[in-house]
């Protein structure tokens, strides 16, 4: 007699396990503890064997019969269902291991191991991969990754406003795929032609040196032999990375010395919202030097020809040209440098960095309900940034940038 769901449900456990049979070798084993397990009894190469199919009711009566029928077909082909299942599982495990071994992340890490580069460059490349490529492509088998996936990954980085970093990530990804071709992991290179997928890293007006040249720039600023007020303005720009017009229009009454904050009013901000710049110890030291020069006047940086007007926005650009950075660095470049380095540290929440850069949140609802202005987090970050600049300048062990809130 065939089994029915009612008969199976009504089957009660006994002191010893027992079976209730369906037909064609299918039966259900009732355990003393109450569990009910499907079994298929068959003969292979003259030997009686029992194959487990799964528990009831997770596996219904209809599903158990289907599995039994699939196993019977194998028996009719002189194949052992248990051995075939074991072989299939082994192949699946091998395929999974191969996919993991040849995932984009695994291949990228092997490329880093054999790459002829300094340890610093390897660490920097790995950090960029971990930040921008592994989250979207890392687990993917490298042979399955398409050009569209790569472009989407790069555009995501670009949309964060760190265009130079997006170009660097593109260069790294291209090298990984070229390595994969040489090693035989892939035949077609989906990263071979990525021209024009990103905007230019910097326009001529926003030229910026790479982070690797930061020490030379800081040294050149310290050695600048031009106007002291201009030199101090560049130092303040490096420490605060505000916009050039926001710096040059600074007034002494905007500084809150009790809170160590520079409060820039909305009418002087590009986004027409008031902005707070936390003052690190090094920033206050620069401002103290400036006080001795201009402390009795309205503007922190004034024109020598007219004390009632602030210094020209082009003063920093002119000084950088005198230092040998014509076409390579601008006042805006300090913002790009800070954004790139802080984002790559992976220790600062992007919202905190964006807030300090006074960028507009594209999601207006998010902007309205974002928690305050991250002021405490930004105070920590700005002091860390000033310490970092000092360590780069003096060639001491670089102070790691730290941050506690994600």
Residues marked active site are found at 243, 270, 332, 335, 359, 369
Torsion of CA 146, 165, 327, 331, to 10 degrees: 150
Q: Give, as one character, the DSSP assignment of residue 34.
A: S
Instruction: Of 350, 343, 352, 342, give the one whose Cα is nearest residue 372.
Output: 352
Please give the order of strands across the beta sheet that includes 255-256: 255-256, 261-264, 275-278
3 state SS for 156-198:
HHHCCCCHHHHHHHHHHHHHHHHHHHHCCCCCCCCCCCCCCCC
390 contacts: CB under 8 Å, gap ≥ 6: 282, 396, 399
Distance CA 332, CA 336 (A): 7
Q: Is 154 exposed, middle or buried (0-12, 13-18, 19+ CB in 10 A)?
A: buried
C-alpha–C-alpha distance, residues 21 and 39, integer Å:
9
Name the β-bridge partners of 37.
29, 55
Q: Are 282 and 239 in contact (CB under 8 A)?
A: yes
2 closest CA partner among 31, 35, 32, 28: 28
Which among 180, 181, 132, 128 has a CA at the least distance from the CA of 153?
Answer: 132
Sign of the torsion formed by the C-alpha atoms of 249, 393, 286 and 378: positive
CA dihedral 374→375→381→383, nearest 10 degrees, is 180
Q: How many CB atoms lie within 10 A of CB 157?
A: 23
């Amino acid at each position: 007699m065939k089994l029915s769901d009612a008969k199976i449900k009504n089957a009660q456990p006994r002191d010893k396990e027992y079976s209730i049979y369906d037909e064609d070798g299918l039966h259900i084993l009732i355990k003393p503890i109450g569990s009910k397990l499907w079994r298929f009894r068959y003969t292979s190469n003259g030997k009686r064997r029992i194959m487990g199919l799964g528990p009831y009711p997770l596996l219904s009566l209809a599903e158990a019969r289907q599995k039994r029928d699939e196993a019977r077909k194998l028996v009719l082909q002189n194949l052992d269902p248990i051995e075939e299942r074991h072989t299939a599982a082994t192949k699946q495990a091998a395929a999974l291991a191969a996919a993991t071994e040849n995932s984009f992340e695994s291949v990228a890490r092997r490329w880093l191991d054999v790459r002829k580069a300094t340890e610093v460059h390897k660490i920097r490349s790995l950090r960029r991969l971990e930040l921008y490529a592994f989250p979207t492509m890392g687990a993917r088998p490298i042979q399955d990754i398409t050009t569209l996936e790569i472009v989407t990954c790069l555009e995501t980085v670009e949309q964060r406003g760190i265009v130079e970093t997006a170009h660097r990530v593109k260069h790294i990804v291209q090298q990984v795929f070229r390595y994969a071709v040489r090693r035989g992991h892939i035949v077609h290179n989906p990263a071979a032609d990525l021209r024009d997928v990103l905007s230019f890293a910097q326009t001529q007006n926003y030229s910026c040196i790479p982070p690797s040249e930061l020490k030379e720039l800081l040294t050149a600023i310290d050695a600048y032999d031009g106007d002291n007020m201009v030199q101090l303005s560049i130092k303040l720009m490096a420490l605060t990375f505000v916009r050039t017009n926001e710096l040059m229009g600074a007034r002494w009454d905007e500084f809150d010395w009790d809170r160590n904050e520079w409060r820039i009013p909305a009418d002087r901000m590009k986004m027409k919202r008031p902005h707070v710049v936390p003052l690190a110890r090094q920033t206050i030291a620069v401002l103290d030097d400036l006080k001795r020069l201009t402390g009795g006047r309205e503007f922190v940086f004034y024109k020598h020809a007219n004390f009632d007007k602030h210094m020209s926005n082009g003063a920093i650009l002119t000084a950088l040209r005198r230092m040998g950075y014509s076409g390579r660095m601008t006042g805006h470049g300090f913002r790009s440098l800070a954004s790139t380095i802080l984002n790559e540290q992976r220790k600062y929440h992007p919202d905190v960095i964006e807030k300090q850069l006074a960028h507009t949140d594209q999601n207006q609802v998010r902007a309205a309900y974002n928690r305050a202005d991250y002021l405490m987090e930004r105070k920590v970050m700005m002091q860390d940034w000033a310490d970092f600049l000092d360590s780069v300048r003096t060639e001491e062990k670089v102070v790691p940038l730290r941050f506690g809130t994600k």
